[in-house]
Amino acid sequence: MADTDANTYTTLSEPPEKPSIRVTATDTITGSTTTEENDSSGAVAGPEPGRLPTTTGKRTRQPARFWMIIVALSLLAFISSLDAMIMGTALPTITAQLGGSSVYVWIGNSFVLAASAIQPMVGQLSDILGRKTPTVASVVLFTLGSGLAGGAVNPVMFIAGRAIQGLGAGGIYVLIDIIACDLVPLRDRGKWLGIINAWAGVAAALGPVLGGVLGQDNWRWIFYLNLPICGVALVTIMLFMHVNTGAPTSSIKSLDVVGNLIFVPSIISVLIGLVTGGVVYPWSSFRVIVPIVLGLAGWVCFHLHQHFIASNPLVPSRLFSNRTSAGGYLLTFLSSVLIQAAGYFLPVYFQAVVGTTVMDSGVYFLPFAMGTLFAAAMGGLAMSHFGVYRTIHVASFALSAIGFGLFTLLRPDTPKVAWAWYELILVFGLGPSISTILPAILAGLSQSDVASASAVFSFIKTFGFVWGVSIPSIIFNGVVDNNLHVVSDENLRGQMANGGAYAFASRVHGLVQTVDPVVWSEVVEVYIVSLKAVWWFGLALSLVGLFCVAIEDHLDLSTELETEYGVQEKKKKPTGGEET
């Protein structure tokens, strides 16, 4: 086995008559000082059986290769998040031009279905094939899907392009976390995940505004913009991401095929029910209930298969076998629901209550989007510096509760400085969860579980985003329907009823001048009451999250990096030089 200067190995005991030579080297990726012990023949002692190589010692400046990998991961985080956020404001224009009103729900959600279903399998593939091959494949799929969607001439071609994009994005979501965990020790992961995901926050801020601009001009550039950015990320990955492929016994035959055949249709079935409920069909419709029930039944069968039958399970039961990891996954779901609920309904407040345009609502949303970026980075830095995560999680959900509580005070005349501060308070609660929950989950697991644990984390986060739209939408639409009797204009009541209030909000700015002010004040009051119900839901869920932090144990965050998927290093010549 080739000797690498990236790792420090436990020295095998030598007979006393054989002197040893101690060799000190500097890790070219993490900047660590490492020590290897040779016997008199010059052979390097290997690792103890069953022990992964570890990086220890005093950390110095990070080398160029490390930063180039971080740049590539940041680009991928940016472009995948931008693509998800940019569609909201441009979707009506795209649907109108392609003539896809009858399949509107699939135009909007084919991306989410594909991205969610693929994530656990990507985690397992990254263990089998190594990190580089799945990453390249994911970027290629995302790029191909962008080209197809941008050049679409009909709804079917567009949906196919979005689905292929979703497959690539699902892989990107998972692999960003996995690769970041391969680069740095557990205690530092929050810091680097915060920095990488900060670029996703930038994309979230730019997305609605850029989507509105390009939607009015030429929506195809929403997708064509992905091509050069993906090209830069792909070239960077090919040139600098030279990583180990893991255990030599790994084989594609070890992929949990049966588990995937159960999981993928089950989760798609659940998501079909969630995305069509209240939009295409009423929630009481059998077309909504049946897919959800069948999907949940399949999900139960999947976990039974994973626990009792699968030899190499896609989602090992041990990921949920300790309090900290189980609690971390629960907090992941709750924080994702809260982030999505706020991000989905804040623009409704700006458009329907304040009366702004769609583009202006994107600008008013900037404190939330940019604040999330900053808060995620600060949360990661705090965890790295103090070595704790429970305190950060307590503060996060407490501030989230305060933020949603302040949202219940929002009115048409609320000063800008007030709602901007409300947004910042909320994101300083929700932001740190982006960067600090995954390291907490990994603290209770073996290093060999990094890929599967990160894949489950990414899936639960994406799944939470879906629920973050579905549950608040049910609440919002229900309250709207119950209060429409206060609107005296029958035409306006018809446009807002049965789930139409959300889309109607985007047309408010153009209608407000044509409606009697008294009638319009009635409409605004319905929106205030309905949004307040969503904010109370966010407050309640934040308090649930606050109490759920108690599930986590305090575990030490390791400062040593143990991985068999680390970056490949240059080999040393016997004379002490290096060869490529």
Could you give phi then psi for residue 178, rounded to 5 degrees? Answer: -65, -50
- Residue 24, classified by CB atoms within 10 Å of its CB into exposed (0-12), middle (13-18) or buried (19+), is exposed
- Return d(Cα 462, Cα 456) in angstroms, integer: 10
Pick the closest to residue 407 from 545, 546, 544, 531 (CA basis): 531
Decide which of 418 and 207 is more confident: 418
Angle at 84 between CA 372 and CA 541, to 5 degrees: 50
Q: Does domain 63-248 have CATH number 3.90.1150.10?
A: no
pLDDT at 56: 44
The C-alpha torsion from 396 through 401 and 406 to 408, rounded to 10°, is 140
pLDDT at 52: 45
Question: What are the DSSP calls for 18-57, one per residue?
Answer: S-EEEEEEE-TTT-BEEEEEEETT-PBP-PPTT---EE-S
- Residue 454's nearest CA partner among 287, 580, 329 is 329
Tell me the average pLDDT across 279-284.
82
Amino acid at residue number 214? L
On the question of pLDDT at 7 being above 60, the answer is no
- Indicate left, alpha or beta for 44 from its phi (over 0: left) and psi (-120 to 50: alpha): beta
* Residue of 189, 11, 213, 172 whose CA lies nearest to 80: 172
Where are the extended beta strands (E) located within 471-534? none
Question: H or E element: which one contains 25?
Answer: strand 20-26
Domain 317-555, CATH class in plain words: mainly alpha
Question: Which residue shows structure tokens 């934040």?
Answer: 542
pLDDT, tens only, 307-338? 999 888 989 999 998 999 999 999 999 999 99
Distance of alpha carbon 153 from alpha carbon 533, whole angstroms: 41
Name residue 280's amino acid: V
Residue of higher predicted confidence among 372 and 7: 372
Give me Rg for the CA atoms of the chain: 25
DSSP-assigned letter for residue 37: E
Residue-wise pLDDT for 289-311, tens only, equals 999 999 999 999 999 999 999 88
Whether the pTM exceeds 0.85: the reply is: no
Average pLDDT over residues 188-213: 76
| 32 phi/psi in degrees, rounded to 5 | -80, 150
- Which structure tokens are listed for 329? 């996954």
DSSP reduced 3-state for 314? coil
The secondary structure of 487-499 as a DSSP string is: ---HHHHHHHTTT
Q: Do 63-248 and 317-555 share a fold?
A: yes
Higher per-residue pLDDT: 21 or 570: 570
Residue boundaries of the structural domains of the chain: 1-61, 63-248, 256-311, 317-555
CB count, 10 Å around CB of 319? 22
pLDDT by residue (tens digit) across 517-571? 888 899 999 999 999 999 999 999 999 999 999 999 887 776 665 555 555 555 5
pLDDT at 108: 72
Q: Which amino acid is at 307?
A: H
- Over range 368-393, report the average pLDDT: 87
Mean pLDDT of the chain: 81
Which residue would you say has higher pLDDT here, 403 or 361? 403
Q: Tens digit of pLDDT for each residue in 109-165?
A: 888 889 888 999 999 898 888 888 899 999 999 999 999 999 998 888 999 999 999
